[in-house]
Every structure is written in C-alpha cells, then in structure tokens.
Structure 1
Amino acid sequence: MPHAEFPLQGHPANEIRIERLPRKELGRLSELNFEIFREKRIINHKTHPFLVILAAFAGDIPVGFKIGYGRKEGEFYSAKGGVLPGFRRRKLADTMMKQMLEIAREARYEVFTYDTFPNMNPGMLIMGFSYGFRVTYAGYNARYNDYQITLSLKLKDLPASKLLK
C-alpha cells in the first residue's frame, strides 16, 4: 500500500510531513512511542479491522504519531498520539487530529472519541473543547495517577473550520 502524504501548511513538504502508515509498519513508531510516553505498549490490540496510523516525519525521522480504530458500531476511537517536545507548537497534533477526523468521517463513523489525562497533557483537553468535543466520562485512573477524561464528538457536528479540506 503506498503511503498517503499530507504536507503541513506553512512547512515545506520535505521538512515535516504526515503519512498514513500501513498496519505492518506500526513497529516503526516503537522508539518514538517510548521516547514520548516512556512505555513499550503502543496500543493494547493491533488487530482492529479498521486501524489508522498517522506519523509525522522530519526527513526520515518520526517525530509524532496518532493511532485510532473503529471500536464499536459507529464509533471511532483515537487511542494514542504524541509529538516529541522539540516538535511541539507546530500544529502537528492539530493536523493529525484533523486528518483522523476526516478519515473517520469518510469511513462513515458517527462518533469520534478519545481519552486524555489532563494533568499529564492539558493541551489535549483544550484542543478537544476547541473542536466541540463534550466530556462523556470523567474518573480517576490509578494506573496513570491522573484523572481520565473521555471526550466525544458527533462527526455531523464537526465544524468546517476543523477540516483540512
């Protein structure tokens, strides 16, 4: 499967780009995942029928990623994503979120959901609210010693300003 490339606005395509990777290349993100999250586990299960892997590259070096999948009837779940500290504040996470929202919508998912841990990464909570996501669950997660907030958005309610196209 050829890679789909999505150059970032304001950056030359050969400087930083986002690619959709095939499932077999998930392992390319192992070191990046460990660098960002300090854990070996990327996602719990790699066998989801509709798995989307987006990776941001500076040259040939992965600097960010976002992984999601169809979880249940009509729901797409963004499971994990992150960007190396030196590449943050370049709209990489925002661009990958937009791309994943479009992929989920084109695949006819009705709801897009993700979990975030606000003390570990408050930016994901703020970004979700800017897209119109609503809190659908909040509880304490002892594993991460943080609150776990689930955010959901009906894709029909996605503002046009939050699309790449």
Structure 2
Amino acid sequence: MSDCPNVTETKQNRVLTEMDWKEKWKTRQIGFHVKDVHPLFEEFLNEMISGKEKLNIFFPLCGKAVDMKWLADMGHNIVGADVCELGLKEFFEEQNIPYVEESVTEIPGAKVYKSTSGNISLYCCNIYDISDSVIGQFDGIWDRGALVAVNPCERERSVIVIIINVI
C-alpha cells in the first residue's frame, strides 16, 4: 500500500489483485454477482439510451452480469471485459447463449468470447490492456461495481482507460 499513501486498507476496502479476483470466482465468493437486472439500471436506462437503438455499451469487470443479456435482448451491442474466464463462460452458459472463443491477437494471452448472434463480446484480459483499437468505442458504460474492485491506487487509471473508449 506504500504506493497509495492516502488509502487505508480495511476489510471493506481491500486491494484485490488479479489473482485474488480469479480465486474469488474459483471458490465461489461472488456475493457481488446478482441474479437480476440492477434496479437503478432499469430506472435510468432511458436516460442512457435517449431513444437510440443499437447502442454499443461497455461493461468493465463484467463477470456474468445479467444486465448484459437484458440489453442485448433489446438489440444493443455489448462488450465486456474481465480477468476471470470462469465468469465469462458462465454468463453464456447460464443465459443459454451460444458462443465461440477466439484469441485476441492484439493482446497476448487474451481471449474473446462472442455470441454467435454477434452482439455480445466478452474479453478475458486485464482491463489495462484494452484499447479502442481492439474493442471499439461506446455510447455508454454500465459499471455496477467494477470501480470498487480496482486497487484504489489504480482507480484513476481505470477510469481513464474506460473513458478513452467512449465516444
């Protein structure tokens, strides 16, 4: 924590590493995952969409958020990113969405899981390796809790990475 002098590590503000995050998924410590669309997202969706169709929406640290299918079913294009492959695969399996797995040549070791319908692409990689040249630009972002999972010292960097990918 010495790199982050103004942040005190507490039980509520634990600095998670990529390995911690993968371990949480492996041991099923995923209390952050909810089985329903977030009520605030439902309430304010019209403000984000503003009557537009086929928006490109980004989900940082997406896991297996059901909100992605909800929006995809409305005709929007979804791109998510997460370091844990398990959550991404579970998303497609639990939502009964056929998908394919491909390597991402621009990001060594990264994979993308794409719905066969083509409107959902979930990248398995570190969010800092993502760029608009790989995933495009977006009309909106839905972050239900990704920012709090990011190391507090990296939050500004995380926001910058996300913002440069929004139109």
| TM-score normalised by the chain length of structure 1 | 0.30
The structure with more radius of gyration: 2
Which is helix-richer, 1 or 2? Answer: 2
| TM-score normalised by the chain length of structure 2 | 0.30
**Higher relative contact order structure (alpha carbons within 8 Å, sequence separation ≥ 6):** 2
